[in-house]
A = this chain, B = another copy of it.
C-alpha cells in the first residue's frame, strides 16, 4: 500500500513511452532496490562504493541504476551524511559584482571535489536586512559544507558551517573575510579627479549598511581634505549601490544649480546610472562631466564611454575566499585577506577645461 503511494507509476521509467509531458515521479532508491530485488541498504552501499558487496549483486544494482536513471537526492543524502561536498555562495541578489565573485569561486573549485551552489536569498523577501542569516540558516548544516557570503549586512553569529565573508559589514572583524582596500581605492579615484583639475567633485554614496560604502566616502573626504578642497554636503547623494536609487541620487546632483564637474560613484552600477542620467540632461561624458566608478565589473568597460573605475580583483577575491574556506574545512584557522585596489583610467574622465 505504501509502496503504491511512493511510486504511482510502478513500471520502469524506460518502459513507458513519453507521449505525455506529465511529470514522472522521481526515481528513488526504493525503486532501484525493488527492481534489483535487494534491500535499500544494499543499493546505498553499492552507490557509495562501500565494500562488502558481492560483485554480482553490485553489477546488477548498477545496471538497474543506469536503466532507471537513478541519482541520489542531494537533499536526502545531506540529511544523513556529514559532508555534501557542496559549497554555497550566498548572495542578496544576482548582480554583476556577485556574479564575478561567483565565477572566481567556481573556477577555483573546479580542481576540487566540491560542487557550487549559489543562492539568492532576498529575491522574494525584499531587501530584508539579515538575508544572510536567513539563507545560512536555511542551507547550512544540511545542504552545504561551507559558505561564501557576499556583502553580508550584519555581523554573523557563529554559524553551523565554516563561513567566509566577502566585503563584509564590519570590515575585518569577526570570522574570515576577504575585501579590497576601499579607503585607498576611493582616495585613488578622488585624487585622479583632483589631478584632472576638478574641484566640484560629487560623491554618490553606497549602501548605508555596508562598511565598504562608509570607507569609500571616507576616502573621498580624505582626498578632498588633503587637497585643501572644502567638503560640501550638498555634493553627496544616496546611490545605494543599485540602479534605481542611483538614478535618483544622480538626478539630485546633476540638477544642482551649481552642478559638479565630476562624480565619484560608490560602485560601477551607480556610475553607469549617472552616465545615463547625464545623457537625459544633455550632458556629454567626459566633456561636461567626469565620472568614476568602483569595482570594475565587465559592464564598466563595456559601456559608452568606457568607465574610469577602481578595480577590485573580483575573480581573485572569489578564489581567495575559497582558499580560506578550504583551510577551515580542513580544520585550520583562517584570517583576513585584503586585496589592493587599482585605478583604471578609461574614457569617462578628462581634464577640466581651463575655462571653468
The B-contacting residues of A in range 102-150, CB under 8 angstroms, are 102-103, 106-107, 109-110, 112-121, 123-125, 133-134, 137-143
Structural contact, A70 and B13, CB atoms closer than 8 A = no
Structural contact, A120 and B124, CB atoms closer than 8 A = no
Asked if A22 lies at the interface with its beta carbon under 8 angstroms from chain B, I say yes
Minimum CB distance partner of A160 in chain B? B26
Asked if A73 lies at the interface with its beta carbon under 8 angstroms from chain B, I say yes
- The segment from A33-41, A198-206, A277-285, A297-305 that touches chain B is A297-305
Query: Complex Cα distance A276/B277, Å?
Result: 35
Minimum CB distance partner of A296 in chain B? B302
- Given known pairs A113-B124, A160-B24, the reply for A137 and B71 (CB within 8 Å) is yes
The B-contacting residues of A in range 58-115, CB under 8 angstroms, are 69-76, 78-79, 85, 93-96, 99, 102-103, 106-107, 109-110, 112-115
Q: Could you tell me the distance in whole angstroms from the C-beta of A13 to the nearest C-beta in chain B?
A: 7
Residues of chain A at interface, number, CB under 8 A: 69
The B-contacting residues of A in range 267-322, CB under 8 angstroms, are 297-303, 306
Minimum CB distance partner of A125 in chain B? B115
Query: Complex Cα distance A75/B143, Å?
Result: 7
The residues of B that contact A95 with a CB separation of less than 8 Å are 103
The B-contacting residues of A in range 17-64, CB under 8 angstroms, are 18, 21-27
Minimum CB distance partner of A155 in chain B? B18
Asked if A233 lies at the interface with its beta carbon under 8 angstroms from chain B, I say no
Cβ 8 A contact of A117, one of B27, B119, B142: B119
Asked if A175 lies at the interface with its beta carbon under 8 angstroms from chain B, I say yes
Structural contact, A27 and B137, CB atoms closer than 8 A = yes
Q: Could you tell me the distance in whole angstroms from the C-beta of A95 to the nearest C-beta in chain B?
A: 7
Asked if A333 lies at the interface with its beta carbon under 8 angstroms from chain B, I say yes
Cβ 8 A contact of A119, one of B21, B115, B161: B115
| Identical chains in the assembly | 2
- Given known pairs A112-B124, A124-B85, the reply for A69 and B133 (CB within 8 Å) is yes
Minimum CB distance partner of A103 in chain B? B94
Asked if A195 lies at the interface with its beta carbon under 8 angstroms from chain B, I say no
Interface of A is mostly: loop
Asked if A234 lies at the interface with its beta carbon under 8 angstroms from chain B, I say no
- Given known pairs A76-B79, A116-B119, the reply for A102 and B96 (CB within 8 Å) is no
The residues of B that contact A297 with a CB separation of less than 8 Å are 298
Minimum CB distance partner of A85 in chain B? B124
The residues of B that contact A120 with a CB separation of less than 8 Å are 106, 115-117
Asked if A356 lies at the interface with its beta carbon under 8 angstroms from chain B, I say no
Cβ 8 A contact of A302, one of B70, B79, B119, B302: B302
Cβ 8 A contact of A114, one of B76, B116, B123, B141: B123
Structural contact, B175 and A26, CB atoms closer than 8 A = no
Asked if A225 lies at the interface with its beta carbon under 8 angstroms from chain B, I say no
Structural contact, A70 and B137, CB atoms closer than 8 A = yes
Q: Could you tell me the distance in whole angstroms from the C-beta of A142 to the nearest C-beta in chain B?
A: 4
Structural contact, B112 and A103, CB atoms closer than 8 A = no
Nearest 8 CB-CB pairings of A with B: A71-B137, A298-B298, A26-B141, A301-B302, A75-B142, A26-B160, A118-B118, A94-B106
